[in-house]
């Protein structure tokens, strides 16, 4: 039972398309996933590609790919197809500085990271602490190294980093009308008062986003709702206040802008849930991204460990939090005064002069000088994910892979591997 106020308004919005919209809500929802990189695998449950995301595919919902070892290895991210559209509109380019202002749980941030291809800098922010932790874990699982995860208010970030970013994504918290088919809670929580509350909050977030964006930069505003005062009216109001911004249309396969120049993904028109997007350009000369200089690693224990396993890091800079070592993008700004959860790639920590590698480092690596590979369909990898000792002839620290994809660390004695898969992730 959908709210009457919602139905009356949507009927006025859609006119003759209203019945087709209602019928689409009765159909099973389409589910999709997005690969981490171009090294896609011919998994048996994959279906048609998602038109606006070249690494996205629909899949058979009965396959339950979230339980496959490849999911734990970060080979793919389960992401609703329409939710991939905002990043397609943003079109991040390698080397740029990008801000995802409302980033949890991390689908769009990891999608942005994939497009950056290890170059440039991504700030992924989430204001709610528990959701920020989930965001941080997903960035780790997907092997993202050149990102900063923060738990800040948009206004605080705008004060700290005005004009710093070439592109900003505002996937704003909203009334969630586009999720009615997917989430029952979205229906029960809906009210006209909630829509108005969300619209006011979105207005404040947009003000911060405008301050964060550099001259000549692109901003994408998106929601998963159909409410005009959260969508097209929100944008119209923003443009009235900000003469330095203009609305743009961009070319993305499979997406068509409406007569208002904005993107409306209704479930009877597209194979996915509801989504709205608007592309905005800030006036001024575009800034050319700087390359940034690398720095030497000052940690002796890490240097010894990396040499033994033949690990090399990309261009970046070291960050130390106590005994914990991170490797960050050279574009990362001063962190003083910010609530930081993850300042880059967690390399590991030093204990009694010895280096203990972090799980994040394993997920980022493609390979190293000591690798134990287990078949993704066999008992050994299931035992490993349960935290059990597994057979191996390897000695010392060893990167554990499944089907050639890294999934964690082990330490061998020539007969078995001592398990170093994180206890909180074990099945």
Q: Which residues are catalytic?
A: 224
Helices H, strands E: what count in the chain?
13, 22
Q: Distance (Å, rounded) from C-alpha 188 to C-alpha 373?
A: 47
User: In this structure, are residues 140 and 363 in contact, taking their beta carbons and an 8 Å threshold?
Assistant: yes
- Paired tokens of 215: 């001259």
Quickly tell me which residue has 């930081």 as its tokens.
340
Burial (Cβ within 10 Å: 0-12, 13-18, ≥19) of residue 248 = middle
**Residue length of the chain:** 427
Strand order in the sheet with 32-35: 46-49, 56-59, 32-35, 76-78
User: In this structure, are residues 148 and 243 in contact, taking their beta carbons and an 8 Å threshold?
Assistant: no
DSSP-derived secondary structure for 275-329: EEEEEEEE-SPPPPPP---------HHHHHHHHHTT--PPS-EEEEETTEEEEE-
What is the 3-state composition of the chain as percent helix, strand, coil, each rounded to the nearest 5? 35, 25, 40
User: In this structure, are residues 350 and 356 in contact, taking their beta carbons and an 8 Å threshold?
Assistant: yes
Cis (ω within 30 of 0) for the bond into 105?
yes
C-alpha dist (Å) from residue 254 to 84, 88, 242: 12, 10, 30
311-347 burial, b at 16+ Cβ within 10 Å, e below that, comes to bebeebbbbeeeeebbbbbbbbeeeeebebbbbbbbb
**What would you measure as the largest C-alpha separation in the chain, in angstroms?**
71
**Residue 260 CB-half CA count within 13 A:** 14
Q: Distance (Å, rounded) from C-alpha 48 to C-alpha 58?
A: 6
């Amino acid at each position: 039972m959908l709210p009457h106020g919602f139905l009356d308004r949507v009927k006025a919005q859609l006119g003759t398309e209203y019945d087709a919209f209602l019928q689409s809500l009765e159909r099973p929802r389409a589910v999709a996933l997005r690969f981490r990189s171009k090294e896609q695998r011919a998994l048996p449950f994959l279906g048609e590609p998602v038109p606006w995301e070249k690494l996205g595919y629909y899949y058979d919902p009965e396959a339950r790919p979230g339980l496959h070892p490849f999911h734990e290895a970060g080979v793919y991210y389960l992401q609703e197809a329409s939710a991939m559209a905002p990043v397609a509109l943003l079109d991040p380019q390698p080397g740029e500085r990008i801000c995802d202002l409302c980033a949890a749980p991390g689908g769009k941030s990891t999608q942005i990271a994939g497009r950056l291809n290890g170059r440039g800098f991504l700030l992924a922010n989430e204001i709610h602490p528990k959701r920020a932790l989930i965001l941080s874990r997903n960035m780790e699982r997907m092997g993202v190294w050149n990102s900063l995860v923060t738990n800040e208010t948009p206004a605080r970030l705008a004060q700290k980093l005005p004009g710093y970013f070439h592109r900003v994504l505002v996937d704003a918290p909203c009334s969630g009308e586009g999720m009615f088919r997917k989430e029952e809670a979205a229906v029960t929580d809906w009210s006209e008062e909630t829509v108005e509350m969300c619209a006011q909050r979105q207005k404040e977030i947009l003000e911060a986003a405008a301050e964060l964006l550099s001259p000549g930069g692109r901003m994408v505003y998106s929601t998963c709702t159909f409410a005009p005062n959260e969508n097209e009216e929100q944008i119209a109001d923003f443009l009235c206040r900000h003469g330095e911004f203009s609305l743009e249309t961009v070319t993305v396969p499979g997406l068509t802008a409406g007569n208002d120049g904005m993107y409306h993904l209704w479930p009877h028109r597209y194979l996915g849930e509801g989504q709205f997007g608007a592309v905005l350009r800030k006036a001024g000369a575009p800034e050319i991204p700087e390359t940034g200089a690398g720095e030497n690693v000052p940690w002796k224990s890490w240097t010894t460990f990396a040499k033994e396993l033949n690990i090399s890091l990309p261009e970046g800079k070291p960050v130390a939090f106590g005994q914990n070592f991170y490797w960050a993008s050279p574009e990362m700004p001063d962190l003083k005064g910010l609530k930081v959860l993850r300042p880059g790639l967690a390399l590991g920590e030093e204990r009694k002069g010895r280096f203990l590698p972090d799980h994040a480092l394993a997920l980022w690596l493609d390979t190293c000088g000591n690798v134990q590979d287990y078949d993704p369909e066999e008992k050994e990898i299931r035992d490993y994910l349960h935290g059990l000792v597994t057979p191996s002839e390897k000695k010392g620290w060893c990167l554990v892979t499944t089907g050639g994809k890294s999934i964690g660390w082990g330490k061998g004695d020539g007969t078995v591997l001592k398990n170093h898969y994180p206890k909180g992730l074990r099945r």
